Amino acid sequence: MSDERYTFEQARARLEEIAALVRKKDTSLERSLELLEESVRLANVCTELVDRTDLGATAAVERVDAAPTLAGRHAGGAGAEAAGAEAGGVPVADEGADDGHGGT
């Protein structure tokens, strides 16, 4: 099987098989070196798969986190100053809103 076609689980399972083969007393040094090379390739495949998964998950979280901020900018109608403050994490009171305290 080509390295690019492995799933993470398949690569991990093959790495476990290689570890078992190398532990055997009857495995030659030459065969052990071949298995070492294969295991390094598989470890790289696993790393790439994890990195892609992490990047995909991070991008999805960033999109979810950004969605309310973008919606708030357009739906709230508070203007550019409020949108800028909202993006910075500072709450902005709407100038015309009643705060419920009866004061001016």
**Within a domain: residue 95?**
no
Phi, psi of 57 (to 5 degrees): -70, -40
Instruction: Answer whether residue 75 is part of any domain.
Output: yes
Query: Does the residue 98 lie in any domain?
Result: no
pLDDT, tens digit (0-9, with 9 covering 90-100), for 15-73: 999 999 999 989 999 999 999 999 999 999 999 999 988 777 777 777 777 766 555 55
Residue 16, amino acid = E
- Choose the most confident range, by mean pLDDT, from 12-16, 80-84, 88-92, 97-101: 12-16
- 48 inside domain: yes
Number of structural domains in the chain:
1
The answer to whether residue 51 is domain-embedded is: yes
14-17-21 Cα angle (round to 5): 140
Residue 27 lies in a domain: yes
pTM: 0.51
Give the Cα separation of 57 and 63 in Å (integer): 10
pLDDT digits (tens, 9 = 90+) for 3-22: 458 899 999 999 999 999 99
**Considering the domain boundaries, does residue 102 fall inside one?**
no
Domain that holds residue 44: 3-86
Residue carrying structure tokens 């015309």: 96
12 inside domain: yes
What is the Cα–Cα distance from 7 to 82, expressed in whole angstroms?
47
